Amino acid sequence: MQIMPPVLQKLICVMGKMTHQDAISNLAEKDNGIKEAIKKYGMPKDRMTDGGFETLFRMIIGQQISVKAANSVWGKLRNIDANNVNTLLNLSDLKLREAGLSRQKITYSRDLAKKIKNGSLVLENLTKLSSEDAHKKLTQVKGIGDWTADIYQLFVLGDMDAFPQADLAIQEGARRYFQLEKRPSANNLVKLAEKWRPFRGAGALVMWQIYRVEVHEGSTVN
């Protein structure tokens, strides 16, 4: 396989034609270490997903709580139609707290809904922006930091260079991949991943795969 030029890669991502596995395969062609990691740990699954208000709302809900708790809150919110922008803005704080949202997450959720309703955040237009501008648009919403924006860009927008450097699982996978004594800081990880441009997101997916196999599943592949 030939490596796609960055310009073509960006165009394909915008058009929604490049999968995560396409990006990983491209990265593996230019980085033998990634190629060997795929042989050892397997090719990560394609994890592209639909975006929109509900996706970002769920990301806010899931912050600092377990997956089980987040799913429970989400179910209660859906029961009162809070997954709809207009309904969310019209529901009282009491109703939202009864569904399990903290005061802080109510503030975050309303800010997201308001920005979508007034047009200051048009999620459908994010793919038309540069990676940096899309990131800035997302992080203008209260409660959406760099990590959440990077995740949305990688898994929804198909930005294959989006790199969630603060993700602990990626850092731990990178520690093992680069054979480091300790987990790299976010800044150090960015430096290590520089050679992966414009497929740093693909590199992140491989680091997640290493973490999943060796740590989350509790096994070591020989």
Q: What pLDDT, in 10s, does the model give residues 98-112?
A: 999 999 999 999 999
Banded pLDDT at 147 (limits 50, 70, 90): very high
CB < 8 Å & 24+ apart, contacts of 119-125: 123/51, 123/52, 123/53, 123/56
* Residue-level pLDDT at 217: 73
Instruction: Please give the Cα distance from 175 to 154 (Å, whole number).
Output: 21
Rounded CA separation 182/193 (Å): 16
Q: 15-65 pLDDT, tens per residue? A: 346 899 999 999 999 999 999 999 999 999 998 999 999 999 999 999 989
Banded pLDDT at 14 (limits 50, 70, 90): very low
Give the domains, in start order, of the chain with CATH numbers. 6-48+161-216 (1.10.1670.40), 53-155 (1.10.340.30)
**pLDDT number for residue 1:** 38
Tokens of 13: 């991502």
Mean pLDDT of 199-221: 87
pTM: 0.86
